[in-house]
Amino acid sequence: MLAVWVEQLLGFAAGALAAIREDERYPEFMAWAREEGAELMGGNLAMAQALAPVLWSQTPLERAGFACEPLARPGRNEPCWCDSGRKTKHCCGAVSMPADVPDHLMWMLSLRDWKGPTLKAALESGHAPAQALLEAGLIAAETGQRGRAQQILESLFQRADWSRLPAQAEPAFELLIDLYQERGFTRKRAELLDEVLDRGPMFLRGVALERLCLMHLDNDDLDSARAAFVRAQQALPDSPTLAYIEAMLLLHEGHEQEAAERARFWFRRLARQGELEPEQLQFLADLAENPGATLADQLLNAEEDLAEPLAALQALLAELPPAPGLDVRSTETGELEYRSSAREDTLVAAWRQHFEVDVDDESALGLKGDPWVQAGDWLRELCANPEWLDAPRVVQSLALALTSRFGSLPWMSPSLFEPLADRLERWLERVRGVGEGPFLWDSADNAVLLRTGLALVVGMERGARARSRQLAERLLSLDDQDSLGLQELVLDQLLREGREREALAMTEARRDDGPVLGILMGRALALFRLERVDEADAVLHEVERHNPHALPMLCAEQTRAVSLGPDGVAEPGTRAEAWQYRTLMRDQWRSTPGALTWVQAYLDQR
């Protein structure tokens, strides 16, 4: 019965709005209500007359600057406000409605209909109820009108009085942050987060901190992510979302065992409180048992149309037979070359009919387009034709695609990246089995294997650090020119594993190759940890000569992000290079007792 009433109410309200917009005069609207309006209510004239004044009173009028002209509700013995001439108790007062009429309904419908300058003026008027803005924004987003949704939701959160926000504002806030992210409004996203953190209601501050933490994780800025998480704990200490975020953060930091222990802590704590839904409690139980697998399953389930084909890919990779051999030869000068075979070319041609994005040969990890637009097609075809993975070019494309989407997520390593690494390493064994000569990027089809290796090193860097470093070291042994820039990555991983002497040895072997910020900073950190402070001081002098921004930016507790170049590359000596290093490695300096204090003291003595 209630569902029928809601449907009738919405139909009547939409018709009423159209009638009011014709001239925005009450008598003409009541004439419509007694004729066409009664038909919309199934011939119930009394209900139509009773509804009309209620809806008129909450309708924004363009002629009034989008204010409403509410009617005074009459007493029982006063003339009825529907202009019937009868007393209220004998007219609309005798009508019983199945449920209350939302007092923001006509504003919400108006915001749904208005466009262009009219919508802009209505939002700027400040008269729109918060609940109407909330619902209209969500409806616009659900119907694919992203720009309209952003415009409406911005008005909701630009209010001076945060106390007027409806309780359901949390999903709208998250939606607006997502819209800014999708549409490239990074400055607006940062400003909204700052505004909420500065003066927003407590429930939104916690959400903002959680989102900030996830954004830092996406950018590999673990130090900032940890700081945001600590603030989120203080703002919302009992939020179940914190269990999820802390598990993600610890896995990113390489602390798998601690992630499970903390998930068990959260499960016990929140289970005792007894306020969670059964599915939330089950998620926490799964997280406590196996954080990585639970996060991976959650990610796949959230992929909607891709959940099934991605799960099929995981199953395929788990059962993939060993890779076949390759055509690798040693040249007269002792260099090693891989050349694609005719069978491999045939497999690649079949694969390219579905995977239509080219590899960018000018970039180490680039693709000329987004492969995930048509991912449903190529994933299903690949699972139906697993022999395509016998061709290194197919594995290269797949590795690049997976890294572009899942490379920063440590819990995806076991099911997506490590099986492909097994395949590549078999091929690299074949390469080294032919001879001890160099395997150079520019020779024959060597770049296919090397680029695949780099993609897998990056894909496993967070979730399988030891495996990632071993593969990187193997690639470095083949391509001693380090065409892929793997030396910095291996150095970072050695420092994260506390292997300072090996890290130092790596930097000493490359000292004649020219200054690289990551190498210099890694050398300084290794020397400091080994208590060779005088030598470390000398390296800080080298760092300052190479990039004067690096040390101050490393020590600063807070600093604004710096954009990289259009190709994502930070030029040597720039603030962008210093910011990129801080983002990737400040957590290691902060977790090394006395390291940042030492650098700050060095700066103070200049």
Domain extents in the chain: 1-101, 130-300, 307-484, 514-605
How many Å apart are CA 550 and CA 548, to the nearest integer?
6
Q: List, in sequence order, every residue forming a beta bridge with 43; answer none if it has no partner.
A: none
Q: What tens digit of pLDDT does each residue of 425-439 get?
A: 999 999 999 988 889
How many Å apart are CA 202 and CA 220, to the nearest integer?
27
Q: Would you give the DSSP letter of residue 162?
A: G
How many Å apart are CA 257 and CA 219, to the nearest integer?
23
Query: How much is the average pLDDT of 36-41?
Result: 88
Query: How much is the average pLDDT of 399-418?
Result: 90
pTM: 0.69
How big is the CA angle at 207 (ends 203 and 211), to the nearest 5 degrees? 170
> pLDDT band at residue 69, thresholds of 50, 70 and 90?
very high
The answer to whether 521 and 585 are in contact (CB under 8 A) is yes
In 3D space, the residue among 453, 426, 419 whose CA is nearest the CA of residue 313 turns out to be: 419
Task: Flag whether pLDDT at 559 surpasses 80.
Answer: no
Q: For the chain, what percent of residues have pLDDT higher than 90?
A: 32
Please name the fold of domain 130-300: 1.25.40
Task: Output the average pLDDT for the chain.
Answer: 87
> pLDDT band at residue 568, thresholds of 50, 70 and 90?
low
Task: Flag whether pLDDT at 547 surpasses 60.
Answer: yes
> pLDDT band at residue 19, thresholds of 50, 70 and 90?
very high
Q: State the DSSP H helix or E strand holding residue 207, giving kind and residue range, or none if neither.
A: helix 202-218
Q: List, in sequence order, every residue forming a beta bridge with 367; answer none if it has no partner.
A: 359
Q: What tens digit of pLDDT does each residue of 523-535 get?
A: 999 999 999 989 9
232: number of Cβ within 10 Å: 24
Q: Which range has the top average pLDDT, 147-161, 215-229, 318-332, 381-395?
A: 381-395
291: tokens are 């954080």
pLDDT, position 106: 93
137: tokens are 């924004």
Q: Would you give the DSSP letter of residue 67?
A: B
Q: List, in sequence order, every residue forming a beta bridge with 336; answer none if it has no partner.
A: 330
Query: How much is the average pLDDT of 373-397?
Result: 94
Per the rule left: phi > 0, alpha: psi between -120 and 50, beta: everything else, 373 is alpha
Q: Which range has the top average pLDDT, 135-139, 163-167, 211-215, 515-519?
A: 135-139
pLDDT, position 565: 58
Q: What is the sign of the dihedral through the CA atoms of 60, 63, 67 and 68?
A: negative
pLDDT, position 204: 81
Q: For the chain, what percent of residues have pLDDT higher than 70?
A: 96
Task: Flag whether pLDDT at 560 surpasses 90.
Answer: no
How many Å apart are CA 571 and CA 575, to the nearest integer?
9
How many Å apart are CA 591 and CA 136, to the nearest integer?
47
Tokens 């953190």 found at: 197
Amino acid letter for position 364: A
pLDDT, position 385: 95
509: tokens are 């072997």
Torsion, Cα of 572, 573, 577, 582 (10° steps): 140
> pLDDT band at residue 510, thresholds of 50, 70 and 90?
low
pLDDT, position 567: 53
For the chain, give percent helix, strand, coil, nearest 5.
70, 0, 30
Query: How much is the average pLDDT of 363-379?
Result: 86
Tokens 């009028």 found at: 61
Alpha helices by DSSP H, 94-143: 105-113, 116-124, 130-142
